[in-house]
Amino acid sequence: MDINDIEIKIVKCDREKEVFIINLTFFNQLVVRGYRARYKTTKYSPDLPVWLISPPSVVGKGKKFFWIARIIDNDLWLRIQEKMIKEVENYPEDV
């Protein structure tokens, strides 16, 4: 699988909270809905906000989150995250 086989579509954005909901389409055949991109600070970067990408998940017992979909190839996952961030940063402001 190559990064060019994956299409990224932003389906919802909240400019005030800086949250984007993203769908991924693999090979024009399989759609995985609900990836989330958030621009926020973390405890490791309190002064510098960063983009956090999280896969679709559900809430279980004890308010723990469980991923619904997971990309096993770490190199591919990093390239998908970079592509998502570029797509979000280039998303028009007026939409």
Domain range summary for the chain, segments of one domain joined by +? 3-89
CATH number of 3-89: 3.30.1120
**The pLDDT of residue 95:** 64
- Which contacts qualify for 85-91: CB closer than 8 Å, 24 or more apart? 85/37, 85/51, 85/53, 87/8, 87/10, 87/22, 88/10, 88/20, 88/22, 88/37, 88/51, 91/10, 91/13, 91/20
> Are the beta carbons of 47 and 39 closer than 8 angstroms?
no
**The pLDDT of residue 45:** 81
Give the three-state DSSP class for 84.
helix
List average pLDDT for each run of 10 residues in the chain, which is 95 residues long.
91 91 94 92 87 90 85 92 93 78
Query: Whole-prediction pTM value?
Result: 0.83
